[in-house]
Amino acid sequence: MHLLCYFFTVCFTISGTSLLQARLEHWDWRAVDLNAITLPSIMGTSVSEYQVSGAHNCPHSNWAHWEGKKIHNGRPTIQGNDWSGSACNFWHSCYQDIALIKQLGCNSFRFSIEWSNIEPQEGQFCQEAINHYRDFCVGLRHAGIEPMITLHHFTHPHWFEQKGGFANAENIHYFVRFCERVFTQLSSQVTLWCTINEIGPFVFQGYIQGVFPPGLSGDLWTALNVMRTMMQAHCAVYKALKALPGGDKAQIGLVHQYLTIESHTTSYMQPALQMLGTYAAGATLWSMWASLVPKTTKFRTSWALGVAALGALNPVERIPAWFMTYIFNDALMHFLKTGTVFPFIPGLRLTIADGRDCCDFIGLNFYSRVVIESRLIAYVLSGGVGECAFPHCRQGELMTDMEYGVCPEGLYAAIKDMSQFGKPIYITENGVADKHDDIRALWIKRYLYAVSKALADGYDVRGYYYWSLMDNFEWDRGYGQRFGLYEVDRITQQRRLRHSAQCYAEAIERQR
Ligand code: BGC
């Protein structure tokens, strides 16, 4: 009985949490004037080096090595046996590509520094690679575009991975050393610095799903350890850079993808009715069963209740939703709020001195939120064929190619939530995978409206960066997802402005 009570409490807490998360505002778009908007003073686009330069141009990175394996745990490392190759060859064309950014009217550009090109072997720094980035920053500034640098965007040198990467807290000093070197040489050109991009997704994909290097599946303990080390690493870098000449003028932040995962079942009535229905069915089945096998009434009741609760709570949706939201979102949010990592997990709890103050701004990446719908009954009836839970979207929402809905209200809610830390916010990524370019214009208009509404309501949003400048390598998904304002022909390397991108350019133009 004890165990059952415990079980109910856990299930109802999970259920309650996901029900609360599901309650987003809904705006009546017919009543909204999408042209009457005010934008932040910084408007840009975003890329990461590996995604636009590929394994050819970053041969010493953990990702080049990972892709080189081709197969991992019996499945291709990149969907469709794709591989990044030289991607958009940005490493060589970045100077010319400045004109593309300029054409959009952007006054800032966010990109990452490829650590594996700067330090291909442990302790051997490549001055040419540092010069490459310095010249690029000079070129950007010359064009009136402010650089924003990310020091870690999912990739690092292969040698660092072999040493255990961020799974080993003793490796933090390697990352700090690299960051200091880059900062010392580029800080005269760069004010905006992001330490690490998206700790939650990096860890989930690499240590739980096994689709990013190092490809561990379900290794929860290591995953949590890596998260903890990365939070420590962020703070160590922040403090180290602040102590360097120019550190006082630099704005240094951490980039977090605000991502919640919701169960498709949202209303309070639905689980209640489901609960009653399942209870009745469970109780009937139980009494039929109990007439064959005598048991005490108490035991029968608790079993019937257990069956009812399970059915009502829809665990196939709610448990993964709760778990993933914790890894993707809540663990980091808690750290940003308190400076303490994993307060309730014995053996992992850590309070980082001044942890809460290690950000001059928050980088907010926001795409959407994921809705999971279970089709458990169909799954069971089919004898376990296919998936028993699917990504879905809410009624009235449009599904993007990445299998989540267009949800600008979610961006507004994320800004609101992240404002609790009292730091300025830069929306460092927001964009849509839309191969046919039929919803990108709507996406841009509505999400910019959300930003404008946040500004009007007094939230301190300093910048917005559309993801991405051009179509690029979408990690384990290869080239299937097209996020670019520019379409890229990978054979000729021609860049073509997408029709929808005009919307972005026009919105920026209207503010000037
Ligand atoms: C990552 C990008 C990625 C984008 C679109 C973000 O989580 O930072 O690297 O391309 O999502 O999926």
Distance 77 CA to ligand 1 centre (A): 17
From the CA of 198, give the closest atom in ligand 1. 8
From the CA of 197, give the closest atom in ligand 1. 8
Residue 145 lies in a domain: yes
Q: Mind listing the pLDDT tens digit for each residue in 85-128?
A: 999 999 999 999 999 999 999 999 999 999 999 999 999 999 99
Contacting residues for 410 by C-beta, under 8 A, at least 6 apart = 24, 366, 368, 369
> What pLDDT score was predicted for residue 169?
98
Q: How far is 231 from 330, CA to CA, in rounded Å?
A: 13
Pocket probe for ligand 1: among 429, 443, 469, 482, the residue whose CB has the most ligand atoms within 8 Å is 429
Residue 6 lies in a domain: no
Between helices 90-104 and 501-511, what is the axis angle to 10°? 50
Given pLDDT bands bounded at 50, 70 and 90, which one contains residue 2? very low
* Position 28, amino acid: D
Distance 239 CA to ligand 1 centre (A): 27
Q: How far is 176 from 182, CA to CA, in rounded Å?
A: 10
User: Which range is least confidently modeled, 26-30, 207-211, 225-229, 311-315?
Assistant: 311-315
Distance 267 CA to ligand 1 centre (A): 31
Distance 302 CA to ligand 1 centre (A): 46
**Phi/psi zone of residue 368: left (φ > 0), alpha (ψ -120 to 50 degrees), beta?**
beta
Residue 389 lies in a domain: no
Residue 296 lies in a domain: no
Given pLDDT bands bounded at 50, 70 and 90, which one contains residue 257? very high
Pocket probe for ligand 1: among 212, 467, 476, the residue whose CB has the most ligand atoms within 8 Å is 467
Q: How far is 298 from 304, CA to CA, in rounded Å?
A: 10
For residue 286, pLDDT beyond 70: no
Q: What is the mean pLDDT of residues 277-282?
A: 65
Ligand 1 surroundings by CB, under 6 angstroms: 48, 51, 197-198, 201, 257, 365, 429, 467, 474
For residue 500, pLDDT beyond 60: yes
- Domain with residue 488: its CATH number is 3.20.20.80
Nearest CA to ligand 1 atom 10: 474
Residue 318 lies in a domain: no
Residue 292 lies in a domain: no
Question: What percent of the chain clears pLDDT 90, i.e. is strictly above it?
Answer: 76
From the CA of 48, give the closest atom in ligand 1. 9
For residue 488, pLDDT beyond 80: yes
Helix (H) or strand (E) holding 430: strand 425-430
Q: What is the pLDDT of the chain when averaged over all its residues?
A: 90
From the CA of 483, give the closest atom in ligand 1. 5
Cα–Cα separations (whole angstroms), residue 149 to 12, 111, 114, 161: 43, 5, 11, 22
Distance 433 CA to ligand 1 centre (A): 10
Domain count within the chain: 1
Q: Are 426 and 192 in contact (CB under 8 A)?
A: yes
Strand partners, 465: 44
Residue carrying the six token digits 């460092």? 428
Distance 470 CA to ligand 1 centre (A): 13
Q: Outline where DSSP puts E strands in 299-395.
A: 340-341, 350-351, 361-365, 370-374, 389-392
> What pLDDT score was predicted for residue 85?
98
Residue 186 lies in a domain: yes
**Phi/psi zone of residue 382: left (φ > 0), alpha (ψ -120 to 50 degrees), beta?**
alpha
pTM for the predicted model, two decimal places: 0.90
Residue 206 lies in a domain: yes
Domain hosting 477: range is 39-261+353-371+399-511
For residue 294, pLDDT beyond 90: no
Distance 429 CA to ligand 1 centre (A): 8
> What pLDDT score was predicted for residue 379?
73
Q: How far is 339 from 361, CA to CA, in rounded Å?
A: 15
User: Which range is least confidently modeled, 126-140, 162-176, 307-321?
Assistant: 307-321
Q: Are 80 and 478 in contact (CB under 8 A)?
A: yes
